[in-house]
Amino acid sequence: MSGAPGSRRPAFPGLPGERVLEEAAGARQRCGEGDGSVPGTLLCTDRRVAFLPAQAPGSRAFLHSEYDVALPCIRKLVAASSFAKPKVLTAASPLKFIPEELAVFCRDFRLLRFHFHENGLAPQAFRVANAIAQAREAAAWLGDTGEGHDGWSCPAEAPLEEEEEEEEEEGSAATLLFESLHDWEKELERLGATGWRVSAVNERFDMAPSLPRYLWVPSGLLDHDLKRIFAHFEERRVPRLCWHHPGGSDLLRAASFHAASEPGSEDVRCLEALLLGGRGPCVLADTAELPTLADIQLAHLKLRALCLPGAAAEEKWLSALEGTRWLDHVRICLRKAAEVASLLAGRRCSVLLQEPSDRDLNCLVASLVQLLGDPHARTLPGFQSLVQREWVAAGHPFPRRLGLLRRDSPREELVRQFPAAFGFTEAYLLALHDSSFAPYFSTFLFSCQRQRGRGSPHPPRSQTYTPVTGWRDPAAGVPRVGSAACRLPAVWAWGLRYSRQQRARFRNPAGAAGTVGPPSAADPQTPGRPDDSWPGAGNVFVLTKGTLSPQPFPWRSGRPPPRLSRWAPSLESLGEWGGGPGGNRPPAPTPGVLLPCAAGPSVRLWRRCYLRGLPEAQRGRFAPSPAGLAEELTLLQDRLSAWQAAGPRTEPAGSPLAPSR
């Protein structure tokens, strides 16, 4: 390969099968806006762009480093020269001048800048810049067609550090992937959900291709009866348990009712057994009040543009940040999760999260509710198991969503507000965020377990779908696409990318250890949790903005409502007792539940992630000023004093925690 005359780069221990396409020895990676830079060698491989510092100590190459970026993670490539205008490079529009600087804009908000001194580097700079543009497009084409994911060499074949050969680290060993029956049974036992069982009704993915193989369903509901329900929900994604509260409440999730379904009396009976089943009332929590996917995507695009150097004047930056509405969306999601978590902790009921597809906002809200209500989910292995169950196994379409929207902020906000309640750190969340863009692992490459088993992120092109039968495989003799199972490891194998010292920073030594066994049940005499406080078992309610309203049981009138987002307002808002929209007092303490503050000043941008493409000095100027912090501290002290002065109080009428009359 090419290089500067007489120069020798450090050895590049690439991945198995990784090929170096071009290199430029003597390049320098810029550090900030000044003249500071690190000398080394810039390489373009068929997997990534890598920079090897000249003074780097000899060590194995991890798959994540401040000097590396996977090709699919590159969002834009810009070449600059003092003799020409900056040019965005693509495979169809290659470079036609000798670049002096190459800027790599990454999907994970990093900005890598490489400078090429003269000294005979012109040919290498020209070739490596064009090679990156070509390789990036080739990698994107493989992802779009669903081919070549096994071509990303399995990192498990890479050599491990000596002390890691025996490694299955505590977090990795305890993480449940929910790909086996044993994992589902083990977690159900930990939750102590005695009224539920693991169903293998979808083991062949013939009932609902986007759902996992195994589902948690009521013990008294037979698979034969369960099969009646699938056709009546969008994408056949039926209600199923995702978390059991130790006090007896259950959190379920499902897609919207299929508008064209015609349920019979037996279908309605089976649905009643699934949603009610003698477990108390069912509360329908629709996601219609949350921002839409289009809203989140637009806000994220605005945020990305704002976090680029020179995007806005410093004195207008904070107002421009609010104008993106990104933080507004974070606040709304936190409030919704707090409402549901409070309801589950305060009453014995079933809460059903409903979203048209059940594959986006349901993943987020279900995860946040469990982070608020389950200490085990706040440990590192518990959190990883939560992501596996509510996102990966549940069928979140990662290939279509990554790069368009990110939803890590609500979780990062919880870690910031409750640092001692979590067993992991912000550094861990940043590593997870960045890993979602790396194509070296199976976790975020596929849209559901079925595609992961086939090794392709796309269903076979010859499959057909109908609301009644769902996806059907091609007939015998028709060739399939992506029939080989994926052999890539899960993302939780942190030792493949991070050193032992880096992984040590993932764990919070001051964080709660959580619980491994079944959590202890809440005291049945705890105020605000009476079992007989509902108007009677078998009722259905709707929860929106902290308000509970009665709702006729779906289909009892003959046809299911196409949406469950419209109802007459009744009762009072949760905002009057804290936690909800407009609440000015701290939320009432609920044993075992974290209730985050979603007020405007309390929700901040994840600076460590989103602002890392800016110069360090500019990042510091965007931080809250000392005067602002002092003002916020005074406000919090005033709120705490007012809350303490109010003394013990009962929940206001209309709160999900207040007894019914």
Give residue 10's pLDDT band: very low, low, confident or very high (50, 70, 90): low
Backbone φ and ψ for 131, nearest 5 degrees, come out as -65, -40
Q: Which residues contact 626 (CB under 8 A, 6 or more apart)?
A: none
- The pLDDT assigned to 635 comes to 54
Strand pairing category for 282-286 and 540-544: parallel
Q: Using one digit for the tens of pLDDT, what is the confidence trace for 469-489?
A: 444 444 444 333 333 456 788
Percent with pLDDT over 90 in the chain: 35
Backbone φ and ψ for 165, nearest 5 degrees, come out as -65, -30
d(CA 79, CA 145): 28
Residue 356 Cα distances to 68, 227, 259, 401, 654, angstroms? 38, 20, 11, 16, 27
What residue ranges in 83-210 does DSSP mark as E strands?
84-88, 101-106, 111-115, 196-199
- The pLDDT assigned to 441 comes to 84
- The pLDDT assigned to 644 comes to 63
In the three-class reduction of DSSP (H, G, I as helix; E, B as strand; rest coil), residue 566 is classed as coil
- The pLDDT assigned to 617 comes to 55
- The pLDDT assigned to 98 comes to 87
Residue with structure tokens 């084409």? 141
The amino acid at 346: G
d(CA 390, CA 369): 11
Q: Using one digit for the tens of pLDDT, what is the confidence trace for 544-576?
A: 878 888 887 766 554 444 343 333 333 333 333
pLDDT top residue among 326 and 411: 326
- The pLDDT assigned to 232 comes to 93
Q: Which of 8-17, 446-455, 594-603 has the lowest mean pLDDT?
A: 8-17
Instruction: Report whether pLDDT(233) > 80.
Output: yes
- The pLDDT assigned to 138 comes to 83
Q: Which of 130-139, 180-189, 239-248 has the lowest mean pLDDT?
A: 130-139
The mean pLDDT of 201-214, rounded to a whole number, is 95
Number of Cβ within 10 Å of residue 57's Cβ equals 6
- The pLDDT assigned to 498 comes to 85
Instruction: Report whether pLDDT(279) > 90.
Output: no
- The pLDDT assigned to 653 comes to 41
- The pLDDT assigned to 654 comes to 40
Instruction: Report whether pLDDT(14) > 80.
Output: no
- Summary mean pLDDT of the chain: 76
d(CA 65, CA 67): 5
Instruction: Report whether pLDDT(600) > 70.
Output: yes
- The pLDDT assigned to 509 comes to 86
pLDDT top residue among 174 and 189: 189
- The pLDDT assigned to 407 comes to 43
**CB-CB contact of 254 with 359 (8 Å):** no
Find which of 1-5, 149-153, 587-591, 608-612 is predicted with most confidence, using mean pLDDT.
608-612
pLDDT top residue among 169 and 573: 169
Residue 527 Cα distances to 553, 578, 583, angstroms? 29, 18, 22
- The pLDDT assigned to 646 comes to 58
Residue 129 Cα distances to 5, 16, 29, 114, 309, angstroms? 19, 24, 14, 10, 22
Q: Which of 160-174, 406-420, 529-543, 583-597 has the lowest mean pLDDT?
A: 160-174
3-state helix, strand, coil in the chain (%, to 5): 35, 15, 50
Q: Using one digit for the tens of pLDDT, what is the confidence trace for 412-450?
A: 778 888 888 999 999 999 999 988 888 788 898 888 999
Q: Using one digit for the tens of pLDDT, what is the confidence trace for 75-125?
A: 899 999 888 888 999 888 888 888 889 999 998 888 999 998 765 568 888
Backbone φ and ψ for 274, nearest 5 degrees, come out as -75, -45
Would you state the structure tokens that stand for residue 583, as one six-digit string?
């609440």
3-state SS of 276-299 is: CCCCCCEEEEEHHHCCCHHHHHHH
Find which of 155-169, 319-333, 606-620 is predicted with most confidence, using mean pLDDT.
319-333
27 bridge partner residues: 40
pLDDT top residue among 437 and 580: 437
- The pLDDT assigned to 405 comes to 39
Q: Using one digit for the tens of pLDDT, what is the confidence trace for 296-338?
A: 999 998 998 998 887 877 778 888 999 999 999 999 999 999 9
Helix (H), strand (E) counts: the chain: 18, 18
Give the up-direction half-sphere exposure of residue 352: CA atoms within 13 A in the CB hemisphere: 28
d(CA 201, CA 204): 8
Q: Which of 194-198, 438-442, 637-641 has the lowest mean pLDDT?
A: 637-641
The mean pLDDT of 36-60, rounded to a whole number, is 80
Would you state the structure tokens that stand for residue 411, as one six-digit string?
């979780």
Residue with structure tokens 């912090």? 629
d(CA 17, CA 378): 38
Q: Which of 159-163, 373-377, 554-558 has the lowest mean pLDDT?
A: 159-163
- The pLDDT assigned to 130 comes to 92
Q: Which residues contact 61 (CB under 8 A, 6 or more apart)?
A: 12, 13, 14, 50, 68
pLDDT top residue among 5 and 410: 410
- The pLDDT assigned to 123 comes to 86
The Cα angle at residue 642 between residues 638 and 646, in degrees rounded to 5 = 170
Give residue 624's pLDDT band: very low, low, confident or very high (50, 70, 90): low
Instruction: Report whether pLDDT(159) > 60.
Output: no
Q: Using one digit for the tens of pLDDT, what is the confidence trace for 54-78?
A: 865 544 445 556 778 989 889 899 9
Number of Cβ within 10 Å of residue 97's Cβ equals 15
- The pLDDT assigned to 566 comes to 32
Q: Where are the alpha helices (DSSP H) in 392-454?
A: 398-401, 409-417, 426-435, 449-454
Q: Where are the alpha helices (DSSP H) in 436-552?
A: 449-454, 500-504
| Model confidence pTM above 0.85 | no
Would you state the structure tokens that stand for residue 554, as one six-digit string?
């779906």
